[in-house]
């Protein structure tokens, strides 16, 4: 048996157990510790269930230092995968294992899959090619116009779109600034806000020429959160330790004493306030559980 099949088989067992025991989330998800590079036999990915229709896949830091988190949400009509990983492994076996167990638990033969992205940076899209030829699968484009067209955002980035998975209507919130096509996804079913690279326990990079755009996005999310109950934010990485304000070195290969994945709803207003403070003279702003980090503008492609 190949290592890839072995990993997929392991996921099938783990996910089946999670599905059997998971219940709808009323607050922050009760995650067990995530793989963090400190165990020699660490698997390439780890799957945890938030409820029977919501799953988190963490890519091992041993496969790529970015160690991103991917999110897989199921509705009655289709499933949505947010991000496809940073490369350094085949990510599709883990995704397919979760889908296979969900289908079995729901006595279904198939379900269409949409592969979308929090944004288009390489550590979130490198698995796209694995899904290009997958049956009943659509991979969303990477430019703001592609994202707006697919999700039905009428005026980018001011309007918020609804995207129905079938009995599960998500809100798609344009949040450019970190990257032009960045979005957050809100799920009223779990009251979770999937916040990508704009807000997570780590270094939040903002090109200095995009700071005004980032501030507007932070205000947009803050206004949305005032009108919608948010239990927690789940971002795309963890770069902070459990010591407030202390992050890992760049490209760290292990994450001992890792901060929790989830951030409290209060982080939304703190991000907006920090962004406004820094707007005229961007400097590093350490907020304890995230660090707003200005950087030089990216070269135009």
For the chain (length 301 residues), average pLDDT per consecutive 10? 40 42 60 96 97 98 98 98 98 98 98 98 98 98 98 98 98 98 98 98 96 97 98 98 97 97 98 93 93 86 57
In the prediction, which pLDDT does 301 show? 57
Is residue 121 a contact partner of residue 197, using CB atoms and an 8 Å limit?
yes
Domain that holds residue 84: 3-295
Is residue 249 a contact partner of residue 61, using CB atoms and an 8 Å limit?
no
301 in a structural domain: no
Q: How far is the C-alpha of 61 from the C-alpha of 40, rounded, in Å?
A: 12
In the prediction, which pLDDT does 151 show? 98
Q: How many domains does the chain have?
A: 1
300 in a structural domain: no
Question: Any idea what DSSP says for residue 245?
Answer: T
Is residue 61 a contact partner of residue 67, using CB atoms and an 8 Å limit?
yes
Q: How far is the C-alpha of 193 from the C-alpha of 170, rounded, in Å?
A: 10
In the prediction, which pLDDT does 281 show? 84
In the prediction, which pLDDT does 282 show? 85
Q: How far is the C-alpha of 221 from the C-alpha of 7, rounded, in Å?
A: 37
Strands 232-235 and 192-196: parallel
In the prediction, which pLDDT does 18 show? 44
Q: What is the CATH number of the domain that holds 118?
A: 3.60.15.10
In the prediction, which pLDDT does 147 show? 98
Q: How many residues does the chain have?
A: 301
Return the SS3 of 206. Answer: strand
In the prediction, which pLDDT does 16 show? 42
């Amino acid at each position: 048996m190949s290592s890839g099949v072995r990993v997929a088989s392991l996921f099938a067992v783990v996910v089946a157990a999670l599905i059997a025991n998971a219940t709808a989330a009323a607050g922050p998800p009760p995650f067990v510790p995530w793989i963090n590079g400190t165990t020699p036999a660490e698997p390439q990915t780890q799957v945890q269930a938030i409820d029977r229709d919501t799953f988190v896949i963490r890519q091992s830091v041993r496969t790529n230092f970015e160690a991103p988190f991917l999110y897989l949400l199921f509705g009655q009509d289709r499933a949505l995968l947010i991000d496809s990983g940073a490369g350094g492994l085949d990510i599709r076996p883990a995704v397919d294992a979760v889908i296979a167990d969900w289908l079995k638990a729901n006595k279904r033969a198939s379900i269409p899959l949409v592969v979308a992205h929090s944004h288009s940076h390489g550590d979130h899209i490198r698995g796209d090619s694995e899904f290009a030829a997958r049956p009943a699968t659509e991979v969303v484009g990477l430019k703001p116009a592609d994202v707006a067209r697919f999700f039905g955002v009428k005026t980018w980035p001011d309007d918020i779109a609804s995207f129905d998975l079938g009995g599960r209507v998500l809100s798609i919130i344009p949040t450019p600034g970190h990257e032009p096509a960045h979005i957050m996804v809100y799920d009223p079913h779990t009251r979770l806000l999937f916040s990508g690279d704009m807000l997570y326990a780590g270094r939040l990079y903002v090109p200095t020429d995009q700071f005004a755009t980032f501030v507007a996005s932070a205000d947009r999310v803050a206004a949305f959160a005032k009108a919608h109950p948010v239990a927690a934010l789940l971002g795309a990485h963890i770069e902070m330790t459990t010591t407030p304000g202390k992050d890992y070195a760049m490209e760290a290969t292990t994450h001992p004493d890792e901060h929790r994945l989830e951030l409290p709803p209060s982080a939304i207003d703190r991000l907006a306030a920090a962004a406004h403070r820094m707007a005229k003279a961007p400097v590093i702003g350490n907020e304890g559980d995230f660090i707003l980090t200005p950087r030089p503008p990216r070269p135009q492609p």
